[in-house]
Amino acid sequence: MSTQASATGVDEVHILWTSEGMSCDGDTVSVTAASLPSIEDVVLRAVPGIPKVHLHNKVLAYETGEDFLRPFFQAANGELDAPFIFVVEGSIPNENIHAEDGYWTAMGNDPKTGKPKTLNRWIDELAPKAWAVVAIGTCATYGGIHAMAGNPTGCMGLVDYLGEDFRSAGGLPVINVPGCPVQPDNFMETLLWVLHQAAGLAPTIPLDEQLRPQWLFGKTVHEGCDRAAYYEQADFAHDYNSPKCQVKIGCWGPVVNCNVTKRGWMDGIGGCPNVGGVCIGCTMPGFPDKFMPFMDEPPGGSFSSALLRVYGPFVRTMRGITNKSANTEPKWRHPGDKLTTGYQPRYPRA
């Protein structure tokens, strides 16, 4: 994608955030814990350079009912007073597979028919008009828990619904920020980039092949994990109380793109493997089906750990010997009457 900054920017923007997909509102709740920046910093314009932001989120809004829905209807009709960013939370159900008079999920009523207005109709009307479209959480990005095998709704991620060729009014594809729930600062950092880009102060947001921000999801859990050194030494945990590598008790960290081991959860604290939990792959497109049953050793874990057993114990032994040496002071540090450091004066005394 191009990385040239926009020549002109916007001074004011609405964020229309719907969590009416198949979801638990967990991503909204998670984002209230963000601090880099916080949602308050963005709304109060405490971050230099961003446009004035009007946030419309049902959990965080003072407005209710028709008052809350008014900007959504205005945006759908092209009547909103400023550009908007459309944030979608929750899986997108397939409204083509149920009974004719039913629906899976809706937000408000259609003024013309008086019937519930489905999420799918909102997406059809709002996504093409939005300056940017952001899918928050794994349910919205890839389908998540609700889209697992055997589900009755046929639900999917936002890109599955809109198509890979979709582009917003700002020329952007859907921006995916996965996580179950989303890591709060990952989302707010992404939103901040989009806001700066909308203001003409940032280049185009860099996304990977799965449309995730590259700088957030370019590394694996394992690559940032404090337990990784135990892995290369074939020193594995056998229960959840151990500080050692958890691959053999269900951790998928070596193959999962996520930065939680580096970033933590709230203010750098927490994060699954950091506090004794195994990585179950919740940021990945294949979640949850390809990572089940949880807590079982991943298929590749036995093979990789078997290979490590060949040299792991040797590496561990050699490091132990070196560690013992490094924990011993040099022999010349003593209070004796002779200097034994090996010092050789440049100009010997006469």
The answer to the question of whether 222 is labelled as a binding residue is: yes
Determine the Cα–Cα distance for residues 257 and 189; give it in Å rounded to an integer.
17
- Both tokens of 168, joined, read 């917003």
Q: 4: pLDDT confidence band, cut at 50, 70 and 90?
A: very low
Q: Which of 80, 40, 78, 37 is nearest to 57 (CA)?
A: 40
What confidence score (pLDDT) does residue 144 get?
A: 95
Region 12-199: CATH code = 3.40.50.700
What confidence score (pLDDT) does residue 68 get?
A: 96
For 75-94, how does the pLDDT look when each residue is reduced to its tens digit (9 = 90+)?
A: 999 999 999 999 999 999 99
Pick the CATH number of 219-318 from 3.30.200.20, 3.40.50.300, 4.10.480.10, 3.40.120.10: 4.10.480.10
Determine the Cα–Cα distance for residues 234 and 316; give it in Å rounded to an integer.
8
Q: Which amino acid, residue 56?
A: H
Q: Which amino acid, residue 85?
A: I
Higher model confidence: residue 85 or residue 310?
85
The answer to the question of whether 258 is labelled as a binding residue is: no
The answer to the question of whether 24 is labelled as a binding residue is: yes
Burial class (CB in 10 A: 0-12, 13-18, 19+), 37: middle
Task: Locate the domains of the chain by residue range.
Answer: 12-199, 219-318
Q: 233: pLDDT confidence band, cut at 50, 70 and 90?
A: confident
What confidence score (pLDDT) does residue 312 get?
A: 72
Q: At what angle do helices 65-76 and 119-126 cross, to 10 degrees?
A: 40
Do 243 and 227 form a contact (C-beta atoms < 8 A)? yes
The answer to the question of whether 334 is labelled as a binding residue is: no
User: Please, which residues have CB within 8 angstroms of residue 242's CB and are 6 or more apart in sequence?
Assistant: none
Residue carrying the six token digits 């939103």:
191
Q: Which of 136, 94, 149, 133 is nearest to 287 (CA)?
A: 149
Determine the Cα–Cα distance for residues 28 and 18; give it in Å rounded to an integer.
10
Q: What letter does residue 164 receive in the DSSP assignment?
A: T
What confidence score (pLDDT) does residue 295 get?
A: 82
The answer to the question of whether 279 is labelled as a binding residue is: yes
Q: 324: pLDDT confidence band, cut at 50, 70 and 90?
A: confident
Q: 21: pLDDT confidence band, cut at 50, 70 and 90?
A: very high
Phi, psi (degrees; rounded to nearest 5) at 91: -65, 155
- Both tokens of 189, joined, read 């950092």
